[in-house]
């Protein structure tokens, strides 16, 4: 069995562990809420995170399609980008996966599979970089909204009405 097949077999356990470590970045009482509450509308943070980690894991073992990865990663990062996290905390959860995978397969891994493991780890690095890009674009959107909201709302109405004279 090659490494990919092994990981695929362990998908449930690995993504569960990954999910747990991600939500454990929240205050402990909150993280238990995030794990327990299954309703996607009453618990968007937890359900988005769960869907996201599962989807990303598939891509990691699959085609590494940028678009698909983004579709899973974006919702998670978008939430973390406005919560009480630093940039490293908001995106760093990607790298938890490395340790989780190593831990999960440490008894089975054979010498000749290290190459395969390294290649998966590079893919995880790639995920990390994508995460950082998404994080930045979220923060940029946020700052743009902050800067332009007032203008968009009021100024543009005034401008349309010709109440503001340009020099």
Partner 1 sequence: MADDLAKPDELLSGIGHKPPKTGWMDTPVNIRKGMYCYASNPKSVDYLGLPNARQWNPMEEDWKLPENWKQILHEGFRERLDRFRSFKVFMDICVRCGACADKCHFFIGTGDPKNMPVLRAELLRSIYRNDFTLAGKLLGKVAGAREMTFDVLKEWWYYLFQCTECRRCSVFCPYGIDTAEITIMGRELLNLIGLNIDWIATPVANCYRTGNHLGIQPHAFKDMLDFFVEDVEDITGVNVEPQYNKKGADILFITPSGDVFADPGTYTCMGYLILFHYLKEKYGFDITWSTYASEGGNFGFFTSHETMKRLNSKMYAEAKRLGVKWILGGECGHMWRVINQYMDTMNGPADFMEVPVSPITGTKFENASGTKMVHIAEFTADLIKHGKLELDPSRNDNLKVTYHDSCNPSRGMGMLDEPRYVIQNACNHFYEMPANTIRENTFCCGSGAGLNAGEDMELRMTGGLPRANAVKYVHEKHGVNMLSCVCAVDRAALPALMEYWVPEVDVVGMTELVGNALILPGEKERETDLRGEPLPGMEEEE
Partner 2 sequence: MNSKYMFSLAAVIVLFLLAYIGVAGIGLYGFFGIFIPYAAAFIFAVGVVYRVVDWAQSPVPFRIPSTCGQQKSLPWIKPASFDNPACNGTVLIRMILEIVLFRSLFRNMRFHFNKGNKFSYEWEKWLWLGALAFHWAFFVVVIRHLRFFTEPVPVCIQWLESLDSFFRLEFFADFVQVGLPGVFISGIVLLAAVIYLLLRRMLIPQVNYVSLAADYFPLFLIIAIAVSGIMMRYFTKVDIVGIKEFTMGLVTFHPKIPEGVGSVFYIHIFFVSVLLAYFPFSKLMHLAGIFMSPTRNLANNSRVKRHVNPWNYPVKVHTYEEYEDDFREKMIEAGLPVEKELTTNGG
Binding partner selected for residue 87 from partner 1, partner 2, none, CB under the kind-specific 5 to 8 Å limit: none
118 binds partner 1 (CB under 8 A): no
Contact by Cβ (8 Å): 74, 134: yes
What residues from 47 to 106 belong to the interface with partner 1 (CB under 8 A)? Answer: 48, 78-79, 82-84, 86, 88-89, 92, 95-96, 99-100, 102-103, 106
85 phi, psi to nearest 5 deg: -125, 145
Q: CA 37: distance to chain centroid?
A: 19
Rg of the Cα trace of the chain?
20
Residues in the chain: 167
- Only segment of 16-24, 26-34, 63-71, 124-132 that touches partner 2 (CB under 8 A): 26-34
Binding partner selected for residue 38 from partner 1, partner 2, none, CB under the kind-specific 5 to 8 Å limit: partner 2
Q: How far apart are CA 160 and CA 43, in angstroms?
A: 41
Cβ-based neighbours of 75, under 8 Å, separated by 6 or more: 48, 51, 52
Cβ-based neighbours of 26, under 8 Å, separated by 6 or more: 34
- Only segment of 40-48, 84-92, 94-102, 150-158 that touches partner 2 (CB under 8 A): 40-48
Contact residues for partner 1, defined by CB under 8 A: 17, 21, 24-30, 33-34, 37, 39-45, 48, 78-79, 82-84, 86, 88-89, 92, 95-96, 99-100, 102-103, 106-107, 109, 138, 141-142, 145-147, 149-150, 152-154, 156-158, 160-163
């Amino acid at each position: 069995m090659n490494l990919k097949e092994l990981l695929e077999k362990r998908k449930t356990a690995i993504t569960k562990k990954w999910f747990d470590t991600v939500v454990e970045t929240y205050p402990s009482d909150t993280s238990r809420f995030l794990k327990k509450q299954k309703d996607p509308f009453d618990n968007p943070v937890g359900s988005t995170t769960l869907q996201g980690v599962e989807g990303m894991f598939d891509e990691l073992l699959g085609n590494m399609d940028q678009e698909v990865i983004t579709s899973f990663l974006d919702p998670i990062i978008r939430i973390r980008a406005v919560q009480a996290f630093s940039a490293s905390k908001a995106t760093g959860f990607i790298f938890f996966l490395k340790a989780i995978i190593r831990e999960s397969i440490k008894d089975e891994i054979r010498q000749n599979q290290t190459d395969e493991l390294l290649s998966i780890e590079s893919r995880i690095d790639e995920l990390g970089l994508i995460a950082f890009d998404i994080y930045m674009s979220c923060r940029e959107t946020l700052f743009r909204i902050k800067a332009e909201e007032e203008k968009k709302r009021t100024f543009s109405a005034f401008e349309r009405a010709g109440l503001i004279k340009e020099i």
